[in-house]
Amino acid sequence: MGKKIFSGVQPTGNLHLGNYLGAIKNFVKLNNEDQNECVFCVVDLHAITVAQNPKKLKDNIYETIATFIACGIDPKKSIIFNQSSVSAHSETAWILSCVARMGWLNRMTQFKEKAGKDKEKASIGLYSYPVLMAADILLYDTTHVPVGDDQKQHLELCRDIAQKFNNDFNADNFFKIPEPLIQKEFSRIMSLRDGTKKMSKSELSDLSRINLTDDKEQIINKIKKAKTDTLQLPSASADLEKRPEAKNLMGIYSSLMDVSLEDTINKFSGKNFSEFKENLSQVMVDKIYPISLEIKKLLREKKYLDKILLEGTQKADKIASEKVKKIQELVGF
Ligand code: TYM
């Protein structure tokens, strides 16, 4: 039986290699399996949990859609839309925020990381954002959610919320309990400057990430400058455990080449980083640079992007508005 897939990406700019290898590459694979129904959402309501420049936000929404398509998502075989244009997401998020418990949200590690030391100054939206994410997923009777490793805890919360709602309102199976799809390997791509930190859009140094809009020279330069250690490349994966940078770069190479880490280790065992980096740059330019070119091309075709958005929004709205009606009935509205 086919899967019902839902996933989202925030339009906060600087979409990077981590977003691609951790999530979008998997969206494409699932989208290519004919029996699946796929919904891919640009989550602008999530983006405003931290301050955004309104003009830039609009540009970033286009850039995220262009990225989906440039990476290989087929808009004819999937629903691509923008979260804020389907009002059922906000409506459902409110209802679910009355089901979710403070204690559950207090455990979310991403909030703790993002809010930093001064939690009093974080927005309430940043705190309750996993509830909105649950609304996104549950509105579409989603069975599977492809995400990177950092979203695992939010998906567990989504499952808890769905179960509690079904129990509280005596509605067995009303919300489907979704399964996370997190790749076994390479589901957490790390910064090129520090192998212990996640590659992230908000990291100040642009050298820490490969942006999907980087040109050839930028890609080559960033790989050249990527942090390494002074040892030769290992002959066994156990030897990578205390070498986060080497592990990350070899993982990136493996993921781009669609081979296992073991294969990469065997290929480069005993070699030095300069030779490995040349190979890595080459495969990165081969796989990422065409995406970068395609994004830029699509961004010059705003009418085409608008058309995809409009069609996607209509389809998404039909599904979500029917579901939210049923939610409201169950609640007693
Ligand atoms: P966002 O926009 O932060 O990231 C989009 C996707 O990229 C993955 N990702 C990574 N994977 C591997 N290594 C990394 N360094 C890395 N950085 C990011 C994320 O895990 C994610 O899959 N809350 C979500 C968006 C969202 C969503 C949803 C996802 C909103 N509603 C419903 C699934 C279902 C987020 O902020 O992702």
Which of 198, 222, 247, 277 is flagged as catalytic? Answer: 198
Co-location of 265 and 307 in the same domain? no
Compute, in angstroms, the gap from residue 8 CA to the centroid of ligand 1.
Answer: 7
Q: Are residues 86 and 160 in the same domain?
A: yes
Instruction: Based on the residue annotation, tell me whether 303 is a catalytic residue of this protein.
Output: no
* Rounded mean pLDDT, 35-43: 98
Compute the mean pLDDT over every residue in the chain, rounded to the nearest whole number. 97
Which residue from 230, 279, 289 is spatially nearest to 254, judged by alpha carbons? 279
Buried/exposed code over 181-192 (b: 16+ C-beta within 10 A; e: otherwise): bbbeebbbbbbb
325 labelled catalytic: no
Q: Is the domain of 103 the same as that of 179?
A: yes
Look up the domain containing 273 and give its range.
206-297
Residue 194 in any domain: the answer is no
- Nearest atom in ligand 1 to the alpha carbon of residue 6 is 34
pTM above 0.85, yes or no: yes
Instruction: For a ligand 1 pocket test, name from 43, 57, 198, 208 the mutation site with the most ligand atoms within 8 angstroms of its C-beta.
Output: 43
Is 277 designated active site? no
Domain-embedded: residue 109? yes
Q: For 224-244, how does the pLDDT look when each residue is reduced to its tens digit (9 = 90+)? A: 999 999 999 999 999 999 999
At residue 162 the predicted structure's pLDDT band, cuts being 50, 70 and 90, is very high
Query: What is the DSSP code string of 302-333?
Result: HHHHHHHHHHHHHHHHHHHHHHHHHHHHHHT-
pLDDT for res 133: 98
**Percent residues over pLDDT 70 in the chain:** 100
Residues 150 and 270 in one domain: no
Q: How many domains is the chain partitioned into structurally? A: 2
pLDDT of residue 118: 87
**C-beta 16 within 6 A of ligand 1:** no
Centre of ligand 1 to C-alpha 80, Å, is: 16
Q: How far is the CA of 186 from the centre of ligand 1 (A)?
A: 14
Residue 193 lies in a domain: no
Does the residue 256 lie in any domain? Answer: yes
Does the beta carbon of 198 lie inside 6 Å of ligand 1? yes
Question: Which one of the listed residues 152, 201, 216, 227 is annotated catalytic?
Answer: 201
Q: How far apart are CA 171 and CA 173, in angstroms?
A: 6
DSSP code string of 126-145: HHHHHHHHHHHHHTTT-SEE
- 19 and 137 assigned to the same domain: yes
Indicate if 322 and 292 belong to the same structural domain. no
Which pLDDT band holds residue 117 (cuts at 50, 70, 90)? confident
What is the structure's pLDDT at 112? Answer: 94
Are residues 212 and 77 located together in one domain of the fold? no
**pLDDT at 1 exceeding the cut of 90:** no
Secondary structure of residue 201 in the 3-state scheme: coil
Residue 14 pLDDT greater than 90, yes or no: no
Whether residue 201 lies inside any domain: the answer is: no
Residues 180, 314 within the same domain: yes
In this structure, the chain runs to a length of 333
**Is 199 domain-assigned?**
no
Per residue in 321-332, pLDDT tens?
Answer: 999 999 999 999
Q: Are residues 130 and 213 in the same domain?
A: no
Q: How far is CA 317 from CA 60, 83, 116, 198, 199, in A?
A: 22, 10, 36, 34, 33
pLDDT in the model for residue 210: 98
Give the per-residue pLDDT at 141: 98
pLDDT tens for each residue of 61-80: 999 999 999 999 999 999 99
The answer as to whether 28 is a domain residue is yes
- pLDDT tens for 257-311 read 999 999 999 999 999 999 999 999 999 999 999 999 999 999 999 999 999 999 9
Percentage above 90 pLDDT, the chain: 97
